[in-house]
Amino acid sequence: MASTAGDPGRTIPGMFFRFAAEVPLRWVDVDSAGVVNNAAFLSLMEQARYLYFQHLGLLRDHRVPFVLAETTVKFLRPGRMGMKTEVAVRTRSLGTTSFHMDYEVRAEEHVLAAGQAALVFVDGTLRPTPIPQHVREAIQVFEDMPTSA
């Protein structure tokens, strides 16, 4: 499907995602006018990222072996308290130690925000470490990415 992320009025469908999860809004996510705070979108994306890796069976003891290095969010429509929100997540690319993910926060047939993140696998001292082979393979299979020979 062609992406129409630049169109603030676009409705679903948008980019193609194999995984989406309902991530409910919390009272703390909205201001006194009932509008979702911009920072809350990052929390919604973070929760969906956790659910994505949990879905793939890649979180051992609920430990997340990577850190967020960079993120961007494009706010397309305001969110409001009471909306049923879901976040679509995909891994776009895999590097040696890092990987890139895309997100769409959706509600009521609209994309409220689109985001991207760069994440880095780290060791116990928080230094970059290669993406474990079993993680790489699980993501490649799930996302239908080419595998290295």
| Reduced 3-state DSSP string for the chain | CCCCCCCCCCECCCCCCCEEEECCCCHHHECCCCEECHHHHHHHHHHHHHHHHHHCCCCHHHCCCEEEEEEEEEECCCCECCCCEEEEEEEEEECCCEEEEEEEEEECCEEEEEEEEEEEEECCCCCECCCCHHHHHHHHHHHCCCCCC
Q: Please, what CATH class does the domain formed by 19-143 belong to?
A: alpha beta
pTM of the model: 0.85
In this prediction, residue 40 carries a pLDDT of 94
Q: ∠114-116-121 over CA atoms, to 5°?
A: 150
Structure tokens at 26: 């919390």
Structure tokens at 27: 């009272």
Q: What is the CA radius of gyration of the chain?
A: 16
In this prediction, residue 96 carries a pLDDT of 97
Q: Mean pLDDT, to the nearest integer, of 72-84? A: 94
In this prediction, residue 148 carries a pLDDT of 66
Q: What digits encode the pLDDT tens for the residues 38-73? A: 999 999 999 999 999 999 999 878 788 999 999 999
Q: What digits encode the pLDDT tens for the residues 122-133? A: 999 999 999 999
Burial 104-143 (b: 16+ CB within 10 A, else e): bbbbeebbbbbbbbebbbbeeeeebbebeeebbebbeebb
Q: What digits encode the pLDDT tens for the residues 95-122? A: 999 999 999 999 988 999 999 999 999 9
Taking the CB of residue 40, how many other CB atoms lie within 10 A of it? 20
Q: Is the peptide bond before 13 cis (omega within 30 degrees of 0)?
A: yes
pLDDT tier for residue 11 given thresholds of 50, 70 and 90: low
| Domain range summary for the chain, segments of one domain joined by + | 19-143
